[in-house]
Structure 1
Amino acid sequence: MSQSTQSHQQANNLWSSRMAFILAAAGSAVGLGNIWKFPYITGENGGGAFVLVYLACIFLIGIPVLIAETMIGRRGGQSPVATMRTLTQTEGASRGWRVIGWNGVIASFLVLSFYAVIGGWALVYIGKAASGLFTGADAETIGGQFGGLLANPWELLLWHSVFMTIVVVIVGRGIRSGLEKAVNMLMPLLFLLLVVMVIYAMNSGSFGRAVSFCSFPISAS
């Protein structure tokens, strides 16, 4: 392998800018749960009171862990397992710290195993929504359609495989040629979709009451 080829591969495995890394980090942190699960969990657990606890957990737990992970990654510059192995050797620390690297790999695998299924559902529903299948349909009808999807294992396997193929292709192309190009396209699209959803919510239902409920603690009475 020539020196120029090695240099190209090394450059391809580095983020081209801080913004690209921030977009990728935001993309990994903001999931479907923030969009469809958080609102009703908030509604079931006290509204604004739950939001306050949620924000406290972010600042006291989430941000420190994020900073620690980023610092370890920058220091090691390798995979989680290799980074922790290198750091324990160079710092003379206990080998037990290497478990952190394996925990990261296992956690990522478990998250992927879950989101790969959800990703397959999303691909199916992109086509359904684009075809206007949900126009005028009530909740019972839409629920029945979802039940029909779950009852068809071959269709689930097909779309799961399509989603995993997309993931493998993007990750296999490296950081700059794969992940960075993907997040530069998908993250602005996600932001646009969120704006559209907010505008839609403002023009349907009781948007003002929802904002008030999520903004101020609600007493048990």
Structure 2
Amino acid sequence: MSAPKEVWSSRLGVILAVAGSAVGLGNFLRFPGLAAQYGGGAFMIAYFISLLIIGIPIGWAEWALGRHGGSLGFRSSPGIFHALIKKPYGKYLGVIGFIIPVMIYMYYVYIEAWCLGYALNAATGQLSVPGMNYGEFFGRYTGAGSDGVALHFGLHDVGLFVLIVYAINFWFIYRGISKGIELVCKYAMPALIVIALIVLARVLTLGTPDPLKPDQNVLTGLGFMWNPGDISEGLKNPQLWLAAAGQIFFSLSVGFGVIITYSSYLTKKDDVVLSGLTASSANEFCEVGLGGLITVPAAFMFLGAAGIVGQGTFGLGFNVLPEVFARMPAGQVFATIFFILLFLAAVTSSLSMLQPGIAFLEEGLGIKRKASVALLGLVTAIGTGFVWYFSKDLKALDTLDFWVGTLLIFIQATILIIIFGWTVGIEKGWAILHEGSALRAPAFFKPIIKYVTPAFLLTIFVLFILKNVFGWNFSLGDAARFEPTSYVRDLVGPNPDKVARLSVLFIALMTLFTGILVHLAGKHWATHPRAESDKN
């Protein structure tokens, strides 16, 4: 009737797995770049407020709902929502919880391949080729220069590494929870932290790399990242709050549909309050304590502010940092281990994105592990192939990331917090959260979860739409300006972009496909209701 029973072998295992899901490229590339861009002090205030208002509350809601759903015999968002809401539409609310991790995996694994490829190219001293700077190498390597050019399989090509990381991911996801995901995270997470500490020690002991530029030293590098600037003015900037809240979603993996699946394999004896806080703390240590002290200060010491400002996540990680390592003593060694660090962070995250899909296929369609892995492998291979081929300007990747990896996450997080605080009810939800708990969450989080978090989410979501869809400049009166952004112009503008349209069509087809699967799952659950023996 159901998939074989799977459990975590230890509390440490699930904490490391959830932390591994959260710790990814955003910790070491996206977070430092945003903090530097928006002025360290002001950004960090908005960041920690967002952590308290949306990060921790939504995380606790996911942990609690997931474990409770697991006790009813369900492991995926569609199944858990079906069990909790007890209405025909309930299971369809879980569609997003399948789409988000599966579709993010489709392009995330492509980026993961960059990390492994850069590590091996750095180790062999071939991180660039004659006649190319690092930006040009990145464009050639990732296929950003033209569609289809990345479909090659040499050491200087991403294709070989796409196949390698794809095989690694599906081998371990096939092995299951304890022998696959947990095993990887138990070794990868400590290794990741050790490597990050080694790189951090090297950065903090660089002193003044160029005596001719005494202002570009380790202290000014840290200052560029962390000096508060004009905090009051910074906090008035709606874009800063958008960036901070968005980083919390990316950083903690809340709203991805991952935590709710991971926690469904726990029992009522497990302390999800403490586990949730521990996993969040591990992520924050990696993000603020390691990522925030490595990337931007290192780049500033060698390249100055001009080498950092305006660089996005990819530009900072794959264009700027290779140049920094090239100028650093023993730079080849540190470049190699840094990209190994990024690869480890990426693989623990990508594995987590596959498990919700596997769990749904097993429980919703009643198929075995091998068949579910094969089906998910086929579906994600189509998506990854799409991103891989339509690589010019990374348009397919960027479009999927915006509509799925950003927009849908806001919606999924809102659904989760409303189900916990209103559908289940805050009192019952609070009791579910504290089953088997030695540590109690502060009582003031009850009104935060029920009222403040949904209101904050709605406000941030409206601002996000106004800025990223309608192009509002956040001015009022005569100074207000609305210019539809490229995400809209690419679809309905006078010169629409073919790849962007194909990407949105692909999202629509995936949504339809998932909806059909959920419909079939509903029939399966009606015929084979979860029994008491399915409980943890």
Please indicate the TM-score interval, normalised by the length of the shorter structure: 0.7 to 0.9
Do the aligned partners of 2:114 and 2:161 also contact (CA within 8 Å) in 1? yes
Q: Which residue, 79, 84, 89 being the options, matches 1:87?
A: 84
In structure 2, distance between residues paired with 1:99 and 1:197: 45
Query: Structure 1 residues 202, 81: CA separation in 2 closer, same or farther (over 3 Å shift)?
Result: same
The answer for unaligned runs of 5 or more in structure 1 is 1-5
What is the aligned partner in structure 2 of residue 217 from structure 1? 228
| CA contact 2:39–2:227 (8 Å) conserved in 1 | no
Query: Which residue type is aligned with residue 159 of structure 1?
Result: F
CA distance in 1, matches of 2:198, 2:93: 39
Deviation at 1:214, TM superposition (A): 4.1
Distance 2:159 2:93 in 1: 32
Q: Aligned to 1:132, what secondary structure does the other structure show?
A: coil
Q: TM-score, normalised on structure 2?
A: 0.36
Conservation of the 8 A alpha-carbon contact between 1:49 and 1:216 = no
Return 68-77 or 208-217, whichever deviates more.
Answer: 208-217
**1:168: Cα distance to partner?**
1.0
Aligned partner of 1:75 among 50, 68, 87: 68
Q: Superposition pairs for residues 33-44 of structure 1, below 5 Å?
A: 33-44=26-37
Would the aligned equivalents of 2:114 and 2:142 in 1 still touch at CA under 8 Å?
Answer: no
CA deviations 1:72-113 (Å, max 9, x no partner) are 110111222212212223xxxx44443442221111022212
* Counterpart residue identity of residue 54, structure 1: Y
Gaps of 5+ in 2: 144-148, 153-157, 207-215, 235-536
- CA drift at 1:216: 4.3
Structure with the higher fraction of residues in helix conformation: 1
Whether 1:108 and 2:105 are equivalent positions in the alignment is no
Cα deviation per residue 1:161-214 (whole Å; 9 max; x = unaligned)?
321221111111100110111101111111112112211220236332343444
Residues in 1 aligned to 2:167 and 2:18: alpha-carbon distance in whole angstroms: 22
TM-score if structure 1 supplies the norm length?
0.83
Question: What residue number does 1:22 align with?
Answer: 15
Deviates more, 1:43-52 or 1:204-213: 204-213
Cα distance, 1:20–1:142 mapped onto 2, change above 3 Å: same
Q: How far apart, CA to CA, are the structure 1 residues paired with 2:53 and 2:90?
A: 22
Asked if 2 retains the 8 angstrom alpha-carbon contact of 1:116 and 1:160, the reply is yes
1:51–1:214 contact (8 Å) kept in structure 2: no
Q: How does 1:1-20 map to 2 (within 5 A)?
A: 9-10=4-5, 13-20=6-13
Alpha-carbon offset, residue 128 of structure 1 = 0.8
The residue identity in structure 2 corresponding to 1:171 is I
Q: Write the deviation string for residues 131-171 of structure 1: whole angstroms up to 9, x where unpaired.
A: 13359x9xx72223222212442233432232122111111
Within 5 A, what are the aligned runs for 1:1-221? 9-10=4-5, 13-77=6-70, 78-89=75-86, 94-134=87-127, 141-151=133-143, 152-155=149-152, 156-204=158-206, 206-219=217-230
Q: Secondary structure at the match of 1:154?
A: coil
Question: Which deviates more, 171-180 or 123-132?
Answer: 123-132
Max Rg structure = 2
- The one-letter amino acid of 2:11's match is R
Moved over 6 A (4+): none
1:3 is aligned to none
> Would you say the 8 A contact 1:48–1:217 is kept in 2?
yes
Task: Give the aligned residue type for 1:141.
Answer: N
Distance in 2 between residues matched to 1:191 and 1:146, nearest whole Å = 26
| Number of equivalenced pairs | 206
